Structure 1
Amino acid sequence: MRASLKTLAQDTGMTYDQKRMSVFGYYQGYQMIIRNVQNRRVFEIRFHVNGGTPEQAKAVQDYFAGLSQSNPAVKSAVFDGVGASIQVKSNGKNSVEALKEILNSVLSVCRSYSMVSCCKYCGAQTNLGVYSLGGECTSMCGGCFEKAQSDLSAARQSLKEQKSNIAGGTVGALLGSLIGVALWVIVYQLGYIAGIVGFVMAVCCMKGYEKFGGKLNAAGMVISLLIAVAMLYFAENVSLALEIYNEFKMDYDITFFDAFRSIPEFMKDDSVSRSVLSDLAMGYLLMLVASVSSIRATYQNANLKHEMKKLS
């Protein structure tokens, strides 16, 4: 996918941005953004145009409506009167030629109906640029970018003045962790590896802290992750207790709580202890591996630490 984007940039004179897995710039007089859709073998072509009459805009919409039928490389195509989005299937070495063919065809239609590039937000046709908003390439005018910067600065200042309620946040993290506990137990009972739920547990704790604590700061992150670690251990014990209860309830007059209290005795059995330790190790490992980027993103979103910069 990277190779296709790099080649496309070279062939069209646009800019390749490896960090954002995107190509952007002017092509045939139109400001374009082409990106790789994350975790999918699909490219997305995005641009914004206006300037034609309502009848001309309708004609462009009709063209887009039939694009996926007329071109097998097109997965979907939408034009709402200003914004255009075309998803193109990745086809290995042929992807670049397919993308260029679609670009040429689409822009030819836009040109024939007097459409010109414009700002995504206000429709202005001048002072256009490509900007990074939260790490995603966006086409807009300088005025709208300055307003977005001002709005973000005001929101950051408001958030900075907001106090974090540690007590409320801790309660929220505990409540959020219960979702992870329930998922762990369900997945465990179905006979699957419950480890991936460790990732869900961490995210639920952070979301719960933010919901009840008002602000997910560094202290909130630490508290949330400590609760996630402890509750994953608790979830494994609940799962083991259920397994003990289901195994012996027909032969002995026991309750779930009896089974839970008997866990230390069962842990003396090497096979049981190995199984439990294996489950926990997998859960904590996947919590660490799968959560790193998500934890970072969650913290950045909660604290409005979004990238905002001009790219071209």
Structure 2
Amino acid sequence: MSVNKKIKARYAEIAQFLGLRFNEEYCVVYGEKDGFTLRISGLDNGRGIEYGMVCVSVGVSENGVKLEQDKQFRKEHKGVMGIVQEKHTVRMTLKQCKNMEKLKGVLQDSLPAFLDMLKLEGFTNGCELCGEAKETGAAYVAGNSICLCDECYDKVSENAAAYTANEKNKKENLVGGVVGALVGSLLGVASIILLSQMGYVAALSGVIMAVCALKGYELLGGKLTKKGIIISVVIMIIMTYVGDRLDWGIMIARELEVDVFYGYRLVPLLLSEEIIDATSYVGNLVLVYAFLLLGAIPTIRNAMRRDKVAGTICKLH
């Protein structure tokens, strides 16, 4: 798991401040507090020194209790955005803080009150998976931290091992992957034309092109390998050019009252005759390619990270 040093430093500082543990390898703050096993996430969601959507998650045994968002609690603790129960997890989300000291102040005020409220509501510590009132420990499972009992941890470990074995045995369907990338890229071409004709910035469709082509390859190819990424990128580059030129072809066809395909073929001639401004043409194409990168890079990164962590499971100590 690749996390920059600044984000790790944030987690380490919060862990020390609250008297919790910090696992540097997986960048997780966790520990026991007032009878609950809890974990803290969201310090890597902010921009610059702003921390957004910091969450304190607690595994609970609900004992038939259903917790609604507590308006009175949020009224008394201004730094809290909301409290939500999701199955066997109760999560307190904090409002965005401008700096670390303010975040510490919000946690110092709200965390003890949050845990006290859970006790008053009838909750006890429990496993986030099965919801039973058992001794739990923090674990790292497929890219996420979670509080599990020993029985659920063993089950999850078995499932992770089976998933890893299945992925290794799964064969890549190259032809299917190419077809999927082409179909996805056609959706990208359609978005280039549609957004442009509607008067929006067509460059935004570069993101759609990247996501659809890569997801298309993965869907019909079985999995997204390095070979699949290269093939998809080549298809994206070609189809982005085709889509942008087709967009110009439609505008030319409308102006000259000719068919679209003839308008498409006229683009090079009109550029050479300077009827189409070359700067505008190239600038728009570069912008679309820039947005293509904007969509492709995180999609590729997430796909590679997902494959890397999908079979990863360990107890945090």
**1:87 alignment partner in structure 2:** 93
Distance 1:119 1:7 in 2: 27
**2:3 alignment partner in structure 1:** none
3-state DSSP of counterpart to 1:24? strand
**1:167 alignment partner in structure 2:** 175
Change (3 A) 1:63 1:70: farther
Mark the runs of 5 or more structure 2 residues left unpaired by the alignment: 1-5
RMSD after superposition: 3.0
**Please, which moves more after superposition, 235-244 or 110-119?**
110-119
Distance 1:195 1:294 in 2: 17
3-state DSSP of counterpart to 2:81? strand
Distance 1:211 1:62 in 2: 38
**2:139 alignment partner in structure 1:** 131
**2:259 alignment partner in structure 1:** 255
Paired residues of 1:24 and 1:31 also in contact (CA < 8 A):
yes
Establish whether residue 201 from structure 1 lines up as the match of residue 212 from structure 2. Answer: no
**1:311 alignment partner in structure 2:** 316
- Which runs of at least 4 in structure 1 moved beyond 6 Å after TM superposition? 18-21
**1:111 alignment partner in structure 2:** 119
Distance 1:42 1:72 in 2: 14
Paired residues of 1:41 and 1:89 also in contact (CA < 8 A):
yes
Could you tell me which amino acid in structure 2 is paired with residue 13 of structure 1? Answer: G
User: Among the aligned pairs, what percent are the same residue?
Assistant: 25
3-state DSSP of counterpart to 2:93? strand
Could you tell me which amino acid in structure 2 is paired with residue 242 of structure 1? Answer: I
Distance 2:282 2:137 in 1: 54
**1:280 alignment partner in structure 2:** 285
Paired residues of 2:206 and 2:289 also in contact (CA < 8 A):
yes
Paired residues of 2:68 and 2:84 also in contact (CA < 8 A):
no
3-state DSSP of counterpart to 2:202? coil
TM-score, length basis structure 1: 0.83
Change (3 A) 1:307 1:276: farther
Paired residues of 1:193 and 1:279 also in contact (CA < 8 A):
no
Could you tell me which amino acid in structure 2 is paired with residue 42 of structure 1? Answer: M
Distance 2:229 2:166 in 1: 20
3-state DSSP of counterpart to 1:132? strand
Q: How does 1:1-312 map to 2 (within 5 A)?
A: 5-16=11-22, 22-36=28-42, 38=45, 41-50=52-61, 54=64, 57=65, 61=67, 64=70, 66-79=72-85, 82-92=88-98, 93-112=101-120, 115-126=123-134, 128-249=136-257, 254-269=258-273, 272-301=277-306, 305-312=310-317
1:247 deviates by: 2.6
3-state DSSP of counterpart to 2:82? strand
1:81 deviates by: 6.8
Distance 2:292 2:87 in 1: 44
Aligned residues between the structures: 303
**Please, which moves more after superposition, 99-108 or 13-22?**
13-22
1:17 deviates by: 5.5
Paired residues of 2:143 and 2:306 also in contact (CA < 8 A):
no
TM-score, length basis structure 2: 0.82
Paired residues of 1:4 and 1:95 also in contact (CA < 8 A):
no
